[in-house]
Structure 1
């Protein structure tokens, strides 16, 4: 019996789906499912309305809060009073000798607190201390917070040992005690002033719930606050007023936006990204062109700086630093590019606490006489920009 073989065109082909055909057929469903899942997660987050963390707040149990430290102080018999305004701190000071702890100066009228008697502990990323600690100068450098040794005779620091310190480096007045060195300064400065002891710490991470159990953080915090006096713990208000510029009236566009508008923006970005991935054109691999040499931008800046130093071109280096600073400051101050020195100095003095004569000398004065003066000028210009950026 003969068997007839069908021609190739009529042979049966495999009908089992391949991974490529399966993805092509179901990618739309997968992408739609991802959109639904992301929308559900966003709705849960929007509906939960969880309270945000309040850094260094004695009532906050989050990692950034200081609930654990406040409870330890109360167990040691120390009275801890949480206040959220300068007036409340003044009222507490009228009840007797107290220790004032300041963890945030954003919404505080420092002039009302400057005359309060007793001890004070100022913690956090502080730039200008002209009212609360006028004898302490903050350095331009910002040391990274890490475990540091005290290296000082202050009993509170020596008993605690190493602690999580950094943030800001300071230089204290003559006779002060400086601990936890960082660069050219120290991250903790303590000195006697106004009938009490003023202590300034560059970073409050050692007081948080997250870091309190590490190194000697708890011991340092307790030693600084357990002075036998009640503690007035000043924190930002729960409902802070909107910060407005001088002469500004009414509400801005951002004040009128609902609080959850950022989630709408995030969802729109995700939807656009998924659509681009779905409908985007598949291109081949990127062709890398071999260049004769690749020079990083930082190397060109360092090279130009070395040329300036070799030729003692302090005047040109100072002019470049001042020109860049003035360009950035005029944009933040709302001035035009043609603004004169008097306009820039007057506007900058109104927005900061710096002396107008010192500002004019730094921005438009003569060039530095030596390299140390050039370094000091660069640090002061950076300090001015940091003060303006915090407003």
Structure 2
């Protein structure tokens, strides 16, 4: 009884040692596949969405800013903006169809740090940038024509169909670039910047001349950027319920138990995983029979050239290491070295090792004898 128990225990241990490596390999494969799928999967989203990889998204700009060392904080509500704002941060207000009410705009106005308004609507512009108004003309990009460092360093940019702005009164020290598509002024210790279009900051817009540099210069002016893009009306829930919210709580435990049962049944009824068993070959073929069969095949097809090439190749593979030569040695070196070693006629050696194919069977037999004699003398030298 003791012997049987120890045998069973030893078998279980051997099975587990083999099975654990299989399970580990499966876990690694599944993990690598999941990570690769997540990293390469497209991420849809709205216009200027910092996580969207679509042409209208802004994931590329966010990635460039983070590579540059800028901390990008994504906020989709006012509480997140107020929690992340610092005196040295930049609040980027992206275009969104979800407008804020007057209270929300007032809360944004009190947030510390600079402000960058990207394609703002009238309500947002009048509240957060009251010193500017929309001008009559439309800008199509071009040269900055201003002394704003962010614009002059970027140079020419493609701001097609961009709204333009001008100062409300003459007392405002307003800097206008790209014919008014980009404006900036200071008020209350903060810098307010407004740009009339968001196209140059999108994934597809960054590819055009000067757009990437201008977008990075504007959004990366501070060490921290708060990317504010509400995806729903402030204070409301989107009302979307996931499938997990619709499943009762006890269903998860039932599925877990079923998985355990299936795993135990698979271990019980599965094929035993053990070490490899060596088996004897059913037939042992002598080398001479293999050589004779191959020779008959060559003879039946009158392949004297292939037979001679096989003989010469085999002799060179065995003789070159004995001669101290490599496989890439040229024929002249091989002939000269062989002749010096065995004191054979160089012409005979060149014919035997590198000559033309034999024209008949008798010449093939003579060639094989000559090759055998040369190889034997090289081995004995």
Q: Given the two structures, how large is their TM-score scaled by the length of structure 2?
A: 0.46
- Choose 1 or 2 for highest CA Rg: 2
